[in-house]
Amino acid sequence: MKYLIILSIIMLDFANADIEIIASPSCRVEVIEKSDVKKLFMLKKRTLSKESIKIIDSSEKITYKKFIKKYMNKSTRRMKTYWIRMLFTGKKIPPKKLSLDELNDLDNSRGCYLSYIIYKELKPKEWKIIKIK
């Protein structure tokens, strides 16, 4: 019985793992407001503190779903509909989807990149975690 309780606590802890916003080493942004996160990742806003921001989505489905739920307050279906509409009208192209390994291989010197990870995952080397207000 004890093992079942311990296992369920561990599983709940993993299921509730928090999503963290990360920034490339060349990015000077330290703090972002939650409303700005939504605008940035929907490409409604492209600069922050006079710095051009490039957005990268996670190619891992679980991480993407948790991010959409926490910061966008939308379902993955609604986000997919949003991006299809933006592509069809020619207004925006969705951000690239990269894995953690691909983030490590990314040339960080070319600008400020923002992405997200599950807190317990390893973050790409030299990338920093951004505080959310």
Top-confidence residue, 40 or 15: 40
Q: Tell me what the pLDDT averaged over the chain comes to.
A: 86
- SS3 state at 69: helix
**Cβ–Cβ under 8 Å, residues 58 and 117:** yes
- Give the C-alpha distances (Å, rounded to integers) separating 23 from 16, 98, 126, 131: 22, 14, 9, 10
Mean per-residue pLDDT for 128-132? 91
- What is the value of pTM for the model shown? 0.81
Superfamily of structural domain 19-132: Periplasmic binding protein-like II (3.40.190.10)
Q: Tell me: pLDDT of 13 over 50.
A: no
